[in-house]
Amino acid sequence: MKIDRKRDVRTVKQELKVLRQLEGCKYVCSVHGKGDEDGRGYIIMDLLGKNLAEARRHDYGDKMPVPVAKVVASGLLRALESFHTEGYIHRDVKPANFAVSPPGEDATAGRWILIDFGLARRYVGEDGALLPERHDASFRGSTTYASINAHEDKDLGRRDDLWSWFYILVELIEGEEGGIKAGDISKLAEHRR
Instruction: Point out the residues that are catalytic.
Output: 92
Three-state DSSP class for residue 132:
coil
The helix (H) or strand (E) run that includes residue 108 is none
Phi and psi at 173, nearest 5°, equal: -85, -45
List 122's β-bridge partners, or say none. 88
For residues 132 and 141, the answer to whether their CB atoms sit within 8 Å is: no
Q: How many CB atoms lie within 10 A of CB 131?
A: 13
